[in-house]
Amino acid sequence: MRISAKGRYALASVIHMAQHHHGGESITLIKISERLGISKIYLEQVFSLLKRGELVTSVKGAQGGYLLSRAPQQVSVLDVLTAVETSLFDRTEDTVAQRAPEIEFAMRKCAFQALDDAVSSALMQVTLEDLVLASEKHKGDDAAMYYI
Amino acid sequence: MRISAKGRYALASVIHMAQHHHGGESITLIKISERLGISKIYLEQVFSLLKRGELVTSVKGAQGGYLLSRAPQQVSVLDVLTAVETSLFDRTEDTVAQRAPEIEFAMRKCAFQALDDAVSSALMQVTLEDLVLASEKHKGDDAAMYYI
DNA sequence: ATAAAACATACTTATTTAATAGGATATTGA
DNA sequence: TCAATATCCTATTAAATAAGTATGTTTTAT
Protein backbone atom coordinates (compact mmCIF):
# COMPACT_ATOMS: atom_id res chain seq x y z
CA MET A 1 0.00 0.00 0.00
CA ARG A 2 1.18 3.42 -0.86
CA ILE A 3 2.18 5.78 1.91
CA SER A 4 2.35 9.33 0.61
CA ALA A 5 5.27 11.69 0.98
CA LYS A 6 3.39 13.46 3.74
CA GLY A 7 3.15 10.26 5.74
CA ARG A 8 6.77 9.37 5.21
CA TYR A 9 7.95 12.85 6.10
CA ALA A 10 5.86 12.79 9.25
CA LEU A 11 7.23 9.44 10.31
CA ALA A 12 10.83 10.34 9.57
CA SER A 13 10.50 13.64 11.43
CA VAL A 14 9.03 12.04 14.46
CA ILE A 15 11.69 9.34 14.52
CA HIS A 16 14.32 12.03 14.37
CA MET A 17 12.72 13.85 17.27
CA ALA A 18 12.60 10.67 19.31
CA GLN A 19 16.25 10.00 18.58
CA HIS A 20 17.65 13.30 19.64
CA HIS A 21 15.34 15.33 21.76
CA HIS A 22 14.17 13.56 24.84
CA GLY A 23 14.36 15.97 27.72
CA GLY A 24 11.54 18.40 26.96
CA GLU A 25 13.80 20.21 24.52
CA SER A 26 12.12 21.50 21.41
CA ILE A 27 13.47 21.29 17.88
CA THR A 28 12.75 23.70 15.05
CA LEU A 29 11.40 22.78 11.65
CA ILE A 30 14.45 24.31 10.03
CA LYS A 31 16.69 21.85 11.81
CA ILE A 32 14.54 18.89 10.84
CA SER A 33 14.36 20.24 7.31
CA GLU A 34 18.13 20.51 7.02
CA ARG A 35 18.82 17.25 8.75
CA LEU A 36 16.41 15.16 6.69
CA GLY A 37 16.43 17.12 3.44
CA ILE A 38 12.75 18.00 3.43
CA SER A 39 11.32 21.36 2.39
CA LYS A 40 10.69 23.43 5.50
CA ILE A 41 7.56 25.01 4.07
CA TYR A 42 6.11 21.62 3.35
CA LEU A 43 7.06 20.40 6.80
CA GLU A 44 4.94 23.19 8.25
CA GLN A 45 1.87 21.60 6.74
CA VAL A 46 2.87 18.20 7.98
CA PHE A 47 3.39 19.46 11.51
CA SER A 48 0.12 21.29 11.44
CA LEU A 49 -1.51 17.88 11.04
CA LEU A 50 0.69 16.24 13.62
CA LYS A 51 -0.29 18.93 16.07
CA ARG A 52 -3.96 18.53 15.36
CA GLY A 53 -3.48 14.83 16.01
CA GLU A 54 -1.93 15.70 19.35
CA LEU A 55 1.32 13.96 18.55
CA VAL A 56 3.45 17.06 18.94
CA THR A 57 3.13 20.30 20.84
CA SER A 58 4.52 23.58 19.67
CA VAL A 59 6.31 26.50 21.23
CA LYS A 60 5.91 29.71 19.31
CA GLY A 61 8.37 32.54 18.95
CA ALA A 62 12.13 32.70 19.12
CA GLN A 63 13.75 29.61 20.63
CA GLY A 64 10.49 27.86 19.91
CA GLY A 65 9.92 24.62 18.08
CA TYR A 66 8.18 21.31 18.45
CA LEU A 67 8.32 18.44 20.88
CA LEU A 68 6.70 15.04 21.12
CA SER A 69 3.55 14.96 23.21
CA ARG A 70 4.13 11.42 24.41
CA ALA A 71 6.98 9.07 25.07
CA PRO A 72 8.19 7.13 22.00
CA GLN A 73 6.94 3.82 23.34
CA GLN A 74 3.48 5.30 23.54
CA VAL A 75 3.27 6.47 19.95
CA SER A 76 2.40 3.95 17.25
CA VAL A 77 2.98 4.25 13.53
CA LEU A 78 -0.79 4.09 13.21
CA ASP A 79 -1.09 7.23 15.35
CA VAL A 80 1.32 9.11 13.12
CA LEU A 81 -0.13 8.00 9.81
CA THR A 82 -3.77 8.49 10.74
CA ALA A 83 -2.94 12.04 11.78
CA VAL A 84 -1.42 12.80 8.42
CA GLU A 85 -2.57 10.43 5.69
CA THR A 86 -5.81 11.20 3.96
CA SER A 87 -6.54 7.75 2.58
CA LEU A 88 -5.40 5.27 5.15
CA PHE A 89 -8.98 4.16 5.67
CA ASP A 90 -10.85 6.58 3.46
CA ARG A 91 -13.01 4.51 1.16
CA THR A 92 -16.56 5.59 1.51
CA GLU A 93 -17.75 5.58 -2.07
CA ASP A 94 -20.21 3.03 -3.33
CA THR A 95 -19.27 0.89 -6.28
CA VAL A 96 -22.25 -1.18 -7.34
CA ALA A 97 -24.55 -0.55 -4.42
CA GLN A 98 -27.54 0.61 -6.43
CA ARG A 99 -27.87 -2.34 -8.74
CA ALA A 100 -26.14 -5.08 -6.76
CA PRO A 101 -26.30 -4.30 -3.06
CA GLU A 102 -25.44 -7.86 -2.08
CA ILE A 103 -22.16 -7.62 -3.96
CA GLU A 104 -21.42 -4.29 -2.38
CA PHE A 105 -22.10 -5.81 1.00
CA ALA A 106 -19.86 -8.81 0.39
CA MET A 107 -16.96 -6.68 -0.81
CA ARG A 108 -17.17 -4.38 2.15
CA LYS A 109 -17.54 -7.04 4.76
CA CYS A 110 -15.16 -9.70 3.50
CA ALA A 111 -12.53 -7.67 1.70
CA PHE A 112 -12.36 -4.02 2.62
CA GLN A 113 -13.17 -4.36 6.27
CA ALA A 114 -10.70 -7.20 6.64
CA LEU A 115 -8.13 -5.04 4.92
CA ASP A 116 -8.68 -2.10 7.20
CA ASP A 117 -8.47 -4.30 10.26
CA ALA A 118 -5.21 -5.81 9.06
CA VAL A 119 -3.67 -2.42 8.30
CA SER A 120 -4.81 -1.06 11.60
CA SER A 121 -3.49 -3.88 13.73
CA ALA A 122 -0.19 -4.07 11.89
CA LEU A 123 0.55 -0.38 12.29
CA MET A 124 -0.70 -0.30 15.84
CA GLN A 125 1.92 -2.76 16.96
CA VAL A 126 4.95 -0.75 15.88
CA THR A 127 5.97 2.09 18.17
CA LEU A 128 8.33 4.99 17.72
CA GLU A 129 10.62 3.31 20.19
CA ASP A 130 10.82 0.23 17.97
CA LEU A 131 11.78 2.46 15.06
CA VAL A 132 14.48 4.25 17.01
CA LEU A 133 15.94 0.95 18.16
CA ALA A 134 15.90 -0.44 14.63
CA SER A 135 17.62 2.65 13.29
CA GLU A 136 20.33 2.50 15.93
CA LYS A 137 20.93 -1.13 15.20
CA HIS A 138 21.32 -0.28 11.56
CA LYS A 139 23.95 2.36 12.19
CA GLY A 140 26.41 -0.33 13.15
CA ASP A 141 25.56 -2.62 10.25
CA ASP A 142 27.07 -2.78 6.82
CA ALA A 143 25.50 -0.17 4.57
CA ALA A 144 25.14 -2.79 1.85
CA MET A 145 22.38 -4.38 3.88
CA TYR A 146 20.32 -1.28 3.43
CA TYR A 147 18.45 -2.22 0.31
CA ILE A 148 16.50 -5.37 0.91
CA MET B 1 -6.49 1.88 2.58
CA ARG B 2 -8.02 3.15 -0.59
CA ILE B 3 -9.00 0.70 -3.28
CA SER B 4 -9.51 2.49 -6.58
CA ALA B 5 -12.59 2.26 -8.77
CA LYS B 6 -10.69 -0.05 -11.04
CA GLY B 7 -10.08 -2.49 -8.21
CA ARG B 8 -13.65 -2.34 -6.99
CA TYR B 9 -15.06 -2.79 -10.48
CA ALA B 10 -12.80 -5.77 -11.04
CA LEU B 11 -13.82 -7.39 -7.81
CA ALA B 12 -17.53 -6.78 -8.32
CA SER B 13 -17.36 -8.12 -11.88
CA VAL B 14 -15.60 -11.24 -10.86
CA ILE B 15 -18.03 -11.87 -8.02
CA HIS B 16 -20.88 -11.51 -10.46
CA MET B 17 -19.25 -14.01 -12.80
CA ALA B 18 -18.75 -16.47 -9.97
CA GLN B 19 -22.38 -16.08 -8.94
CA HIS B 20 -23.98 -16.78 -12.25
CA HIS B 21 -21.69 -18.44 -14.71
CA HIS B 22 -20.24 -21.66 -13.48
CA GLY B 23 -20.44 -24.18 -16.29
CA GLY B 24 -17.90 -22.87 -18.78
CA GLU B 25 -20.43 -20.36 -20.02
CA SER B 26 -19.03 -16.97 -20.96
CA ILE B 27 -20.54 -13.61 -20.12
CA THR B 28 -20.20 -10.41 -22.13
CA LEU B 29 -18.98 -7.10 -20.85
CA ILE B 30 -22.22 -5.49 -21.91
CA LYS B 31 -24.15 -7.74 -19.57
CA ILE B 32 -21.82 -7.06 -16.68
CA SER B 33 -21.95 -3.38 -17.51
CA GLU B 34 -25.74 -3.29 -17.46
CA ARG B 35 -26.07 -5.52 -14.45
CA LEU B 36 -23.61 -3.62 -12.26
CA GLY B 37 -23.99 -0.13 -13.69
CA ILE B 38 -20.40 0.27 -14.83
CA SER B 39 -19.32 1.89 -18.08
CA LYS B 40 -18.67 -0.84 -20.63
CA ILE B 41 -15.77 1.02 -22.20
CA TYR B 42 -14.09 1.33 -18.87
CA LEU B 43 -14.74 -2.32 -18.09
CA GLU B 44 -12.80 -3.22 -21.21
CA GLN B 45 -9.70 -1.73 -19.67
CA VAL B 46 -10.32 -3.52 -16.41
CA PHE B 47 -10.74 -6.85 -18.13
CA SER B 48 -7.65 -6.31 -20.17
CA LEU B 49 -5.76 -6.29 -16.88
CA LEU B 50 -7.68 -9.24 -15.47
CA LYS B 51 -6.79 -11.21 -18.56
CA ARG B 52 -3.13 -10.30 -18.32
CA GLY B 53 -3.27 -11.51 -14.74
CA GLU B 54 -4.70 -14.79 -15.97
CA LEU B 55 -7.83 -14.48 -13.90
CA VAL B 56 -10.18 -14.57 -16.87
CA THR B 57 -10.02 -15.96 -20.36
CA SER B 58 -11.74 -14.45 -23.33
CA VAL B 59 -13.70 -15.71 -26.30
CA LYS B 60 -13.68 -13.34 -29.24
CA GLY B 61 -16.41 -12.78 -31.78
CA ALA B 62 -20.15 -13.14 -31.65
CA GLN B 63 -21.44 -15.13 -28.68
CA GLY B 64 -18.07 -14.53 -27.12
CA GLY B 65 -17.30 -13.09 -23.71
CA TYR B 66 -15.24 -13.79 -20.64
CA LEU B 67 -15.04 -16.62 -18.17
CA LEU B 68 -13.13 -17.23 -14.98
CA SER B 69 -9.88 -19.09 -15.44
CA ARG B 70 -10.10 -20.81 -12.08
CA ALA B 71 -12.71 -22.01 -9.66
CA PRO B 72 -13.94 -19.34 -7.20
CA GLN B 73 -12.35 -21.07 -4.23
CA GLN B 74 -9.00 -20.82 -5.95
CA VAL B 75 -9.10 -17.10 -6.59
CA SER B 76 -8.20 -14.72 -3.77
CA VAL B 77 -9.00 -11.05 -3.45
CA LEU B 78 -5.27 -10.49 -3.50
CA ASP B 79 -5.08 -12.10 -6.94
CA VAL B 80 -7.76 -9.81 -8.30
CA LEU B 81 -6.42 -6.61 -6.82
CA THR B 82 -2.79 -7.20 -7.69
CA ALA B 83 -3.84 -7.78 -11.29
CA VAL B 84 -5.59 -4.45 -11.42
CA GLU B 85 -4.41 -2.03 -8.76
CA THR B 86 -1.33 0.01 -9.47
CA SER B 87 -0.38 0.88 -5.93
CA LEU B 88 -1.22 -2.06 -3.76
CA PHE B 89 2.47 -2.47 -2.92
CA ASP B 90 4.01 0.20 -5.06
CA ARG B 91 6.16 2.29 -2.77
CA THR B 92 9.66 2.36 -4.07
CA GLU B 93 10.63 5.98 -3.58
CA ASP B 94 13.17 7.02 -1.01
CA THR B 95 12.18 9.55 1.60
CA VAL B 96 15.23 10.51 3.63
CA ALA B 97 17.68 7.89 2.44
CA GLN B 98 20.43 10.29 1.43
CA ARG B 99 20.79 12.16 4.68
CA ALA B 100 19.41 9.69 7.17
CA PRO B 101 19.76 6.14 5.84
CA GLU B 102 19.21 4.61 9.25
CA ILE B 103 15.79 6.25 9.49
CA GLU B 104 14.92 5.11 5.99
CA PHE B 105 15.94 1.61 6.97
CA ALA B 106 13.87 1.60 10.13
CA MET B 107 10.76 2.88 8.37
CA ARG B 108 11.03 0.32 5.63
CA LYS B 109 11.74 -2.61 7.85
CA CYS B 110 9.47 -1.95 10.80
CA ALA B 111 6.58 -0.09 9.23
CA PHE B 112 6.23 -0.44 5.48
CA GLN B 113 7.29 -4.04 5.21
CA ALA B 114 5.03 -5.02 8.08
CA LEU B 115 2.22 -3.19 6.38
CA ASP B 116 2.69 -4.95 3.08
CA ASP B 117 2.83 -8.30 4.79
CA ALA B 118 -0.39 -7.58 6.64
CA VAL B 119 -2.20 -6.43 3.53
CA SER B 120 -0.97 -9.38 1.58
CA SER B 121 -1.95 -11.99 4.12
CA ALA B 122 -5.34 -10.45 4.80
CA LEU B 123 -6.31 -10.34 1.14
CA MET B 124 -4.87 -13.75 0.45
CA GLN B 125 -7.24 -15.38 2.87
CA VAL B 126 -10.45 -14.22 1.26
CA THR B 127 -11.57 -16.14 -1.82
CA LEU B 128 -14.17 -15.44 -4.45
CA GLU B 129 -16.16 -18.29 -3.01
CA ASP B 130 -16.26 -16.54 0.37
CA LEU B 131 -17.57 -13.41 -1.32
CA VAL B 132 -20.28 -15.25 -3.19
CA LEU B 133 -21.41 -16.97 0.00
CA ALA B 134 -21.46 -13.68 1.88
CA SER B 135 -23.48 -12.01 -0.85
CA GLU B 136 -26.02 -14.82 -0.92
CA LYS B 137 -26.36 -14.68 2.79
CA HIS B 138 -27.03 -10.97 2.54
CA LYS B 139 -29.80 -11.38 -0.01
CA GLY B 140 -32.03 -12.87 2.63
CA ASP B 141 -31.23 -10.26 5.23
CA ASP B 142 -32.96 -7.03 5.92
CA ALA B 143 -31.74 -4.33 3.59
CA ALA B 144 -31.41 -1.97 6.53
CA MET B 145 -28.40 -3.96 7.66
CA TYR B 146 -26.57 -2.96 4.58
CA TYR B 147 -24.81 0.10 5.87
CA ILE B 148 -22.63 -0.81 8.77
C1' DA C 1 -22.31 -10.64 -45.38
C1' DT C 2 -23.55 -9.00 -41.02
C1' DA C 3 -23.87 -8.51 -36.33
C1' DA C 4 -21.69 -9.15 -32.04
C1' DA C 5 -18.19 -9.33 -29.45
C1' DA C 6 -13.16 -8.65 -27.73
C1' DC C 7 -9.04 -5.85 -28.35
C1' DA C 8 -6.24 -1.54 -28.86
C1' DT C 9 -4.88 3.27 -28.68
C1' DA C 10 -5.39 7.89 -27.99
C1' DC C 11 -7.55 11.54 -25.74
C1' DT C 12 -10.01 14.38 -22.16
C1' DT C 13 -11.28 15.68 -17.65
C1' DA C 14 -11.22 15.65 -12.67
C1' DT C 15 -8.99 14.82 -8.50
C1' DT C 16 -5.21 14.39 -5.56
C1' DT C 17 -0.50 15.12 -4.25
C1' DA C 18 3.43 17.83 -3.70
C1' DA C 19 5.36 21.91 -3.29
C1' DT C 20 5.71 27.11 -3.25
C1' DA C 21 4.55 31.93 -1.93
C1' DG C 22 3.62 35.46 1.09
C1' DG C 23 2.36 36.93 4.79
C1' DA C 24 0.32 37.11 10.14
C1' DT C 25 1.19 36.18 14.87
C1' DA C 26 3.79 35.26 18.92
C1' DT C 27 8.05 35.21 21.81
C1' DT C 28 12.75 35.94 23.20
C1' DG C 29 16.54 38.71 24.13
C1' DA C 30 19.55 42.69 23.29
C1' DT D 1 11.20 48.87 22.17
C1' DC D 2 12.89 46.51 18.33
C1' DA D 3 14.80 43.03 15.67
C1' DA D 4 15.28 38.29 15.05
C1' DT D 5 13.28 33.85 15.19
C1' DA D 6 9.77 30.84 15.12
C1' DT D 7 5.11 28.93 14.47
C1' DC D 8 0.84 29.54 12.05
C1' DC D 9 -2.38 30.47 8.16
C1' DT D 10 -4.27 30.76 3.44
C1' DA D 11 -3.90 30.75 -1.32
C1' DT D 12 -1.78 29.34 -5.50
C1' DT D 13 0.69 26.41 -8.81
C1' DA D 14 2.50 22.25 -11.01
C1' DA D 15 2.69 17.49 -11.65
C1' DA D 16 0.94 13.04 -11.33
C1' DT D 17 -2.68 9.84 -11.15
C1' DA D 18 -7.38 8.29 -11.65
C1' DA D 19 -11.53 8.01 -14.18
C1' DG D 20 -13.86 7.94 -18.05
C1' DT D 21 -14.63 8.79 -23.47
C1' DA D 22 -14.00 8.18 -28.23
C1' DT D 23 -12.94 5.71 -32.17
C1' DG D 24 -11.72 2.46 -34.23
C1' DT D 25 -9.68 -2.86 -35.58
C1' DT D 26 -10.05 -7.52 -35.38
C1' DT D 27 -12.33 -11.97 -34.73
C1' DT D 28 -16.10 -15.22 -35.09
C1' DA D 29 -20.82 -17.25 -34.97
C1' DT D 30 -24.91 -17.21 -37.54
> What pLDDT does A22 receive?
76
> What pLDDT does A141 receive?
61
- The residue of B16, B42, B95, B119 whose CB has the most chain A CBs within 10 angstroms, and thus the best one to mutate to test that interface, is B95
Q: Residue B83, Cβ neighbours under 10 Å: how many?
A: 20
Reply yes or no on whether the pLDDT at A140 is more than 90. Answer: no
Reply yes or no on whether the pLDDT at B81 is more than 50. Answer: yes
**What's the mean per-residue pLDDT of chain A?**
93
> What pLDDT does B98 receive?
95
Q: Mind listing the pLDDT tens digit for each residue in A67-108?
A: 999 999 999 999 999 999 999 997 778 999 999 999 999 999
Q: Would the CA dihedral through B124, B27, B46, B138 be positive or negative? A: negative
- Give pTM, 2 decimals: 0.92
Q: How far apart are CA A32 and CA B113, in angstroms?
A: 25
Q: Which long-range contacts (CB under 8 A, 24 or more apart) does A27-31 make?
A: A27/A65, A27/A66, A27/A67, A28/A64, A28/A65, A28/A66, A29/A65, A29/A66, A31/A65
Q: Mind listing the pLDDT tens digit for each residue in A19-39?
A: 987 778 999 999 999 999 999
Candidates A11, A100, A139; nearest CB to B107: A11
* Residue closest to C16 C1′ by Cα: A86
Where is pLDDT greater, at B29 or A139? Answer: B29
Query: Is CATH 1.10.10.10 the classification given to domain B5-142?
Result: yes
The three-state secondary structure class of B100 is: coil
